[in-house]
Structure 1
Amino acid sequence: MTHSIDAAMPLWFYDFVSPFSYLLLEQHDKWPSMPFALVPVSVHALYRHWGQRPASEVPPKRAFTYRHALFRAEQLGIPFKMPPVHPFDSTKALLLAAAIDADLPTVCTMFRFIWRDGRDPSTPDGFADLCSAIGMPHGERLVEHEETKSRLQRNLDDAIALDVFGVPTFRLNRQLFWGEDALPMLLYCARSPGWLESPEVRRLGDLPNGIAS
């Protein structure tokens, strides 16, 4: 039986296809000092739900995104190597993380396999090596279980219900913080949660749209 995400907990949504999820996880020592539940979710499924076009489908945006990820890695001193193709199909890696309820060290190892070592987890050899890297040689069988697939689908359904629209996304005190560059905002709001209830922030949340759909 699959269980819904506990929305009362601090949450962190990620997808292995996202270089910015990797960069943010490598800054874990800067996160607020509270336990975040790590939630694997398909960012492309989120895009489909919200009607967003991924950066990979806009050639100049795709090129900029990769350059920006490399720049941020160099700026932060984080080892970074693009996998041989991108985007790649992250489904099996997400299923593996969901199947074992991957903890922080395991998720770190999986991200580093892709974004530090530059490996593609979607190929048969790449996925087998990823399973070996986390000590799960039978991972191929795990990702085929219906329970595993149901768990990943439940993560997606719950993420959408919580208005998650991309990764990486923190959810803290019922508020979303999207993107690697949102970490300073998360830290500020963790210290000063009243800011989100300030008149100007609330006004921005209700700002009318001046262009008709």
Structure 2
Amino acid sequence: MVKPVEFWFEFASTYSYLAAARIEEACADAGVPLLWRQFLLGPVFGAQGLTDSPFNLYPVKGAYMWTDMERCCADLGLPFVKPSSFPRGSLLAARIAATHADAAWVGAFVRAVYRANFAEDRDIADEKVIASIVDEIGQDSAAVIAAATTPEGKALLRRSTDEALERGLFGAPSFVVDGALFWGNDRLEQALAHARAA
């Protein structure tokens, strides 16, 4: 039986934008089930002693990353605009993705949030922006946001982030297949091959 790929992502993560844009189609083509796993990088970085994104803490690395993102997006045919603020908060969007992880529309939502952040320079920390994205993909933003902001909805994201820490995730995007970790957008194909072999 083919094992699923767990896609662990964070909306502030640049390289997760690349992975999110292609993972649903890649999994479908490979015949591999996909599980959307939203988590927060802040607590993960904090556990490593980091107070900010490594791309901000190490400016040379950050400068390379933005150049690399331009190249990678061009290769994939993805629009890209360097955000005017990085990393942006995305708590509401993350709660929605965690609460509605099994919804048929979650992939469209995830891609739209990434596009807003990394192609349109929209403030994804703004509830109005997130509500408009939910409406744009044909869902009831009031109902979706209400479900995600209940105590139960908030707890889902906390549990997911705790699980990421417990399982040794240290960055995003990460792919987990049958307990094996693959880190980085460029490891998606390895994860898919591992899922098929498993």
TM-score band by shorter chain is 0.7 to 0.9
The structure richer in helix per residue is 2
Instruction: Say whether 1:30 aligns with 2:18.
Output: no
For 1:203, the equivalent position in structure 2 comes to none
Counterpart of 2:159 (choices 123, 147, 154) is 154
Other structure's SS at 2:120 match: coil
- Cα deviation per residue 1:26-60 (whole Å; 9 max; x = unaligned)? 22233442112101100122111233462222222
Q: Report the aligned-residue RMSD.
A: 2.3
When Rg is computed on C-alpha atoms for both structures, the one with the higher figure is: 1
CA spacing shift, 1:136–1:113, aligned 2, 3 Å:
farther
The 8 Å contact of residues 12 and 89 in structure 2, kept in 1 or not, is answered as yes
The 8 Å contact of residues 13 and 169 in structure 1, kept in 2 or not, is answered as yes
Q: Which runs of 5+ in 1 are unaligned?
A: 1-7, 194-213
Aligned residues: 186
CA spacing shift, 1:81–1:174, aligned 2, 3 Å:
same
CA spacing shift, 1:184–1:128, aligned 2, 3 Å:
closer
TM-score of the aligned structures, taking structure 1 as reference length: 0.76
Residue 172 of structure 1 and its aligned partner are, at CA, apart by: 0.6
- Cα deviation per residue 1:134-191 (whole Å; 9 max; x = unaligned)? 4232155444311111000010111122211111010012100011111233244345
Counterpart of 2:191 (choices 170, 186, 193) is 186
Other structure's SS at 1:118 match: coil
CA spacing shift, 1:89–1:58, aligned 2, 3 Å:
same
Q: Which runs of 5+ in 2 are unaligned?
A: none
Of stretches 154-163 and 122-131 in structure 1, the one that deviates more from structure 2 is 122-131
CA spacing shift, 1:187–1:99, aligned 2, 3 Å:
closer
Distance 1:68 1:136 in 2: 36
Q: Which has the higher contact order (CA 8 A, sep 6+)?
A: 2
CA spacing shift, 1:189–1:140, aligned 2, 3 Å:
closer
Alignment of 1:1-213 (within 5 A): 9-28=4-23, 29-31=25-27, 32-52=30-50, 54=53, 55-101=55-101, 102=103, 103-134=106-137, 135-138=139-142, 139-191=144-196
